Amino acid sequence: MNKLRYNPFHDAGITNYEQFELYPFLIFGTLETIKNRIQQQIKQLKEGHEFGDRLIILGERGIGKTSTLFFIKKKLNEAGIRTELFSRLIEDDSHLNTLLRNPETPVLGKGTIYPTKTETLYELTKNPIYFLIDFPDTVDARNFKAFLNFLWTLMIHKNYNKINLIFTMNKSHYDKSFSYAETLGKFTTLRLEKLSNSETGELISSRLKKVNGEIGNFFDGEVLETIFNYSKGIPRNVISACCLLIDNSNEKKITKKFAEKVLKERYVEQVINDRVEDLELKRIYKLMTKILEEDFKGTATSQENYVEKVMEICKIGRNSVLNRIRDLVKIGIFNQYKGGYNRVNKIISFN
């Protein structure tokens, strides 16, 4: 195996614009629709046709929502169109100005111009502008309600046709919004898809080319299928799996047998470490996977029995266990389905 200058898979999650620019952004599936939509909007604006765009991009964790928003920002900025990208919800116009004026707050992406004086909402939206918001993973009810109220203010503003709104969020946030208001029902929604087997290979190849590596020099053909089967086509999980394999390869070509051994032993812990920041949640997730592996031999034919065991060992309530199961399904570690007699049992297994 040719020696790599460094492991190009250590960057598992894209969190800022400078990091985004280090890697190729691959266009697959729904992303092609998003790209064409943005190109059409740029063309319309250049021709003087101003229609406020409203788009929500849905996707599970690790699917590439943040990178997609950075891609949109890049295309709009290259066309000379103003964008402001945030990683928190805006509660009112005063809060918006605070975020724009203070570079210490989570305004994502280089090139943002911080105004030296407060701009009224009318002044801010005199010319076409895109507000791009990458929803945080956790949103409290008060903040969410305030954001939806402010959003409605933008949608009925005098300059409504110059105000463009594009958000990325988990499906759970989108569904939750309707318990507060119908505002997000006014948006077009698109859903990011998981990668296919061949697209997974293209993602891996694009990272290796960053260090002048060719995929065939590092992975046997069957290894790519093994990576795909473990990652389920979730881009961040693909990167995590490759990082694990390269780190443990001792610069030898990776075979299917080696990949299966390493991923079986270490993949779940690697994904949790890459995807979860909260130390207490990490502890609970790792305990839950250990319980499924040791007490249920990898498959719990009764979700209820599994829930009771987790409650006993982790010392958390039933609702918390159910929420944590959903989290582990979303990040591609658990699989949840119905089976048994008349398919009425909820079954949990490793993905």
DSSP codes of every residue in 257-321: HHHHHHHHHHHHHHHHHHH---HHHHHHHHHHHHHHHHHSTTEES-HHHHHHHHHHHH---HHHH
Letter string b/e over residues 118-155, b meaning 16 or more CB atoms within 10 A of that residue's CB: ebebeebbeebbbbbbbbbeebeeeebbbbbebbeebe
Strand partners, 300: 348
Taking only the tens of pLDDT, the chain with its 351 residues reads 567 788 889 887 888 888 999 898 999 999 999 999 999 999 999 999 988 899 999 998 889 999 999 999 999 999 999 999 998 888 877 888 777 766 444 444 444 444 445 678 888 889 999 999 999 888 889 999 999 999 999 999 999 999 999 999 999 899 999 999 999 999 999 999 999 999 999 999 999 988 877 887 888 778 999 999 999 999 999 999 999 999 998 878 899 999 999 998 899 998 898 888 889 999 999 999 999 999 999 999 999 999 999 999 999 999 999 999 999 988 888 988 887 665 667 899 987
Contact by Cβ (8 Å): 261, 249 = no
Element (H, E) at 84: strand 82-86
CA distances (Å), origin 152, targets 83, 88, 149, 185, 229? 19, 17, 5, 12, 43
Query: End-to-end alpha-carbon separation of the chain, Å?
Result: 30
pLDDT, tens only, 262-302: 998 899 998 898 888 889 999 999 999 999 999 999 999 99
> What's the one-letter identity of residue 265?
E
pLDDT, tens only, 23-72: 989 999 999 999 999 999 999 999 999 888 999 999 988 899 999 999 99
Contact by Cβ (8 Å): 194, 10 = no
> What's the one-letter identity of residue 264?
K
Please name which of 49, 54, 45 lies closest in space to residue 79, comparing C-alpha atoms: 45
Structure tokens at 301: 């034919």
| 3-class secondary-structure state, position 182 | coil
* H helix intervals, 85-194: 93-101, 121-124, 141-155, 171-177
At residue 193's C-alpha, the angle toward residues 190 and 194, to 5°, is: 165
What global pTM score does this model have?
Answer: 0.84
Place of tokens 């990949």: 259
Please name which of 74, 274, 66 lies closest in space to residue 169, comparing C-alpha atoms: 66
